[in-house]
Amino acid sequence: MKIEKKINTSLAFLKIYLSFLVVNSHSYTPKNEIKKKIIVKLIYNAVHVPTFFIISFYFCYNLFKSKNIKRIKKRFQRLLIPYFIWPIIIWTLNNLFSFYITKIEIFPFEKLIKQLLEGHSFMAILWFQYNLIFATLLILILHLLISNNLIYYILINFQIFGFFLQYSNCNFSLFVNYEYEKRYAFGRFFEIFPYCIIGYILASLKIVYILSKYRIISINIFLSILIFIIKFEIFIEIEGFGYQGSKLFISSICIFLIFSLIPDERIHNKYIMKIIRFISIHTPGVYFIHYMLIYYLNNFFLFKNGTLSESIAVYFMSFFISFFGRLIFKKTILINLFQ
């Protein structure tokens, strides 16, 4: 069975939800007494980035397996163009703004080079793209050099190795003393690579297809597991760079499977489905745009309180910038800046 390239409406909605959590995490922090509530824990949770990695590699499985040069080229265009072009755009705009607003820091050329080489400087969010590129490259090389039957077992060993590095504290100890730019871009690789692998494995073993035969039972089981592990502290806390440990790993898998198992037939309004799919197309654009947008809004004194309403405003502003960007660059390679 071939993994569908087109995601269902529930997964499209999940992408919107996750992208809002990313925006929210950079602009709003609930008070401690609010954070303790179970419903807030379900909503305000660090599952956003890990689940995005699972989704990405779940839908890349057929690309890796096919070794189709045209599709591989398109994949790397979508990864590399935003990674290299967005920092150049932001570096240029920032230095222009700094002439008029003294509060805005001038970014020296060396900082741009550091951003491009290490993925985590003035556009700190590009650590995600940096690791996405290397994870894609690593799995692709395995497919080019090794038979498909062996790759599954090699990736399982990578999975075990990644958790060993986390729970032995080797990963944290190795990178914690690196300078800020390197610490997160490099230190997070062995935290997020297990998510890439599990996305690949879920696709290769056709887990969603198998579970869809027991859809209601499966959704209830995964939802119960999710609520249980969020409500009760049963996992050992370990040091890391934000995406370490089994709690987040299991939570992200549960969320992905729950939404994957909700069929489109449950959403009866076709216009709602179209709106959800339309907004979800812009989630990469929202991701790339929101971080610096928050920075400039703060510096222009438009936003300063870090409220939930400001997070919502940032999300929609980022969405509209992405929307118009896609319209302007629709027939050019620069559309990859927004997808």
185, amino acid identity: A
Residue 181 is encoded by which pair of tokens?
A: 């730019």
Query: What separation in angstroms does the CA of 224 have from each of 32, 210, 220, 258, 319?
Result: 24, 19, 6, 11, 33
Tens-digit pLDDT profile for residues 110-153 = 899 989 988 878 888 999 999 999 999 999 999 888 887 788 88
DSSP H helices, the chain, are: 9-27, 32-35, 38-43, 48-58, 61-66, 69-97, 109-118, 127-145, 148-167, 170-175, 180-187, 189-204, 207-211, 215-231, 246-260, 270-281, 283-299, 308-328
pLDDT score at 34 = 47
Contact 15, 49 (CB under 8 A): no
Nearest to 299 by CA among 24, 22, 112, 106: 106
Tens-digit pLDDT profile for residues 172-214 = 999 998 887 788 888 999 999 999 999 999 999 999 999 999 9
**Mean pLDDT, residues 82-102 taken together:** 87
Nearest to 242 by CA among 182, 289, 189: 189
pLDDT score at 326 = 93
Tens-digit pLDDT profile for residues 236-271 = 888 999 899 898 999 999 999 999 998 876 666 778
pTM of the entire predicted model? 0.90
For the ranges 67-71, 157-161, 267-271, the maximum mean pLDDT occurs at 157-161
Neighbours of 101 (CB within 10 A): 11
**Mean pLDDT, residues 142-168 taken together:** 89
Mean pLDDT over the full length of the chain = 86
- Burial class (CB within 10 angstroms; exposed 0-12, middle 13-18, buried 19+) of 129: buried
- Euclidean distance between CA atoms 142 and 210, whole angstroms: 27
